[in-house]
Amino acid sequence: MPHQKKMAGPGLGRVAALLFIAAAVLLSGCARAPRAGTPLKPVDERKGDVYIYRIKSDIARAQPFYTTADGHIGPMLENGSYVVLHLDPGKHNIVVSPGPWGFNRGLTIQVKAGERSYYQFDFTPDPEDKLHFEDTVLRHRPADAGKADVALLPGVAPRINDRRSSFRRTTYAGLSDVVSLPAVNDRGRIGYEKWLKQRLPRAFVISSNGGWVSTWGLSVIDAPGISDPSTRAMQRCARWRNVVCQMYAVNNSVVWTPLPAKMIAAERKRRQGEKKTDDMDSDRDAMSTDQDESSVQSTTQPVSLPSLEPIIIE
């Protein structure tokens, strides 16, 4: 964690006041999640409601899954819950990512005004590797079946901020060892060198087909309320289909663990057998839209709350 400097007199009082204001904002932004069985709200006749859900499971029960719609960050999908997206009529791309534990899966969907549609993120663990999900799919569910499933689940409450993340330091490579960076091309290595010069806290994520995302700082204008850069990096990577997004480095520590070769080989074989144009276009996007946050960083920084900083486990 970044070291905190001691302050005296008026400076300490100012920090205390800012912390109080930050806490008040956090509390004011809290909203109750709909309980299981709560009647669904009427659909705005100008919008379509898209329900995305996952059935409760002991697998990845503490891992929130990330959602995106048309590349925009959506709510985090908790274990045994649903999120609802209010979208304009027309074609949209939705993606669900289980983070570093499996492949992002997505669909191109058609939204109709005044109607609900339901999509289940279904994942199955590998008996030989229960930390990763090879057989994942985001599937459309018929209206009656989807509504019945959602009725048994609580909704996700909107949050103004993200949860604390933790990572285990590994011995894969030294932090400044740019040559050992896996999967990425020269552009990725240049991006990583630039990231090494950014302020803390910071995070660098690599996708399984060579895409990468770098984040830093606690205030970003296009992701309000998401101060943790590791959460932002994972959610930005969540817009890419059919890749695994995995944290490479956090702050001053490399946390990368190579993905199982069997898992990558099986996915490569599956993708070679697919001829769907939308999936191939999405995969190309993952290679060509690597990003850092230079264009979206806010010029002001909020108070750094320790509970929002990622921690490193030795």
- Does residue 9 lie within any of the structural domains? no
Check whether residue 243 and residue 147 sit in a common domain: no
Q: How far apart are CA 123 and CA 138, in angstroms?
A: 9
- Does residue 33 lie within any of the structural domains? no
- Does residue 249 lie within any of the structural domains? yes
Check whether residue 202 and residue 144 sit in a common domain: no
Single residue among 119, 151, 183 that ends a domain in this structure: 151
Single residue among 151, 182, 203 that ends a domain in this structure: 151
- Does residue 54 lie within any of the structural domains? yes
- Does residue 107 lie within any of the structural domains? yes
The CATH number given to whatever domain includes residue 136 is: 2.60.40
Q: What is the largest CA-CA distance in the chain?
A: 67
Q: What is the mean pLDDT of residues 274-285?
A: 46
- Does residue 103 lie within any of the structural domains? yes
Q: 191-241: per-residue pLDDT in tens?
A: 999 999 998 999 999 988 788 999 998 877 777 677 888 888 888 888 888
Q: What is the pTM of this model?
A: 0.74
Q: Flag whether pLDDT at 96 surpasses 90.
A: yes
For residue 104, the enclosing domain spans 48-151
- Does residue 250 lie within any of the structural domains? yes
pLDDT at 123: 79
Single residue among 93, 119, 151 that ends a domain in this structure: 151
What's the number of domains the chain is made of? 2
Check whether residue 188 and residue 146 sit in a common domain: no
pLDDT at 243: 85
Check whether residue 174 and residue 309 sit in a common domain: yes
Q: 105-160: per-residue pLDDT in tens?
A: 999 999 999 999 999 998 776 666 666 677 788 999 999 999 999 999 988 866 55
Q: How far apart are CA 195 and CA 264, in angstroms?
A: 27
- Does residue 13 lie within any of the structural domains? no
pLDDT at 178: 94
pLDDT at 86: 93
Check whether residue 206 and residue 304 sit in a common domain: yes
Q: How far apart are CA 222 and CA 235, in angstroms?
A: 12
Check whether residue 147 and residue 246 sit in a common domain: no
Of 124, 287, 130, give the one whose Cα is nearest residue 207. Answer: 287
